[in-house]
């Protein structure tokens, strides 16, 4: 399963790209629009999936894992920093308490099918 999360001001969508294989090209205009910033965490596999499987080229992408690692990299010591998960970054940056993150994850609604043509208008 390849999951793509899309957050809009009015709604958030979780898309199973493999299950909706034939409908994924409908997202190309949104994903390749330079005027819409896309924010991801460790988007390498997602970039690759979209580019190679669907020929969709992401534009204006901010990968927060790379930002986080850049902040942790000590150029003076030239020390390598291991990749870490979102919860580690959230704890270190004190963005949210881990308990709140767990509550949010447990409160997510069940997956529903969405008509993308109407949802993105």
Residue 42: predicted pLDDT: 85
Tell whether 53 is covered by a domain: yes
For residue 59, what are the contacts with CB-CB under 8 A and spacing of at least 6?
31, 32, 33, 34, 38
Identify the weakest region by mean pLDDT among 72-76, 84-88, 116-120: 116-120
Tell whether 101 is covered by a domain: no
- 1 pLDDT exceeds 70? no
| Single pTM value for the model | 0.59
Tell whether 30 is covered by a domain: yes
CA distance 119 to 27: 11
Residue 97: predicted pLDDT: 66
Q: Which domain holds residue 10?
A: 3-82
Domain count, the chain: 1
Tell whether 26 is covered by a domain: yes
Tell whether 116 is covered by a domain: no
> 97 near 6, Cβ under 8 Å?
no
Tell whether 117 is covered by a domain: no
Tell whether 93 is covered by a domain: no
Sign (positive/negative) of CA torsion 14, 18, 19, 20?
positive
The H-assigned helical ranges of 40-97 are 44-48, 54, 64-72, 86-93
Tell whether 105 is covered by a domain: no
């Amino acid at each position: 399963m390849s999951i793509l999360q899309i957050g809009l001001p009015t709604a958030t969508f979780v898309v199973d790209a493999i299950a909706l294989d034939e409908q994924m090209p409908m997202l190309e205009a949104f994903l390749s629009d330079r005027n819409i910033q896309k924010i991801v965490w460790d988007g390498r596999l997602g970039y690759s999936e979209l580019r190679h499987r669907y020929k969709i080229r992401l534009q204006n992408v901010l990968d927060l894992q790379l930002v986080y690692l850049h902040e942790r990299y000590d150029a003076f010591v030239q020390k390598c920093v291991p990749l870490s998960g979102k919860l580690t970054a959230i704890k270190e940056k004190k963005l949210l308490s881990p308990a709140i993150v767990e509550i949010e994850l447990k409160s997510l609604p069940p997956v529903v099918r969405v008509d993308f043509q109407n949802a993105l208008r």
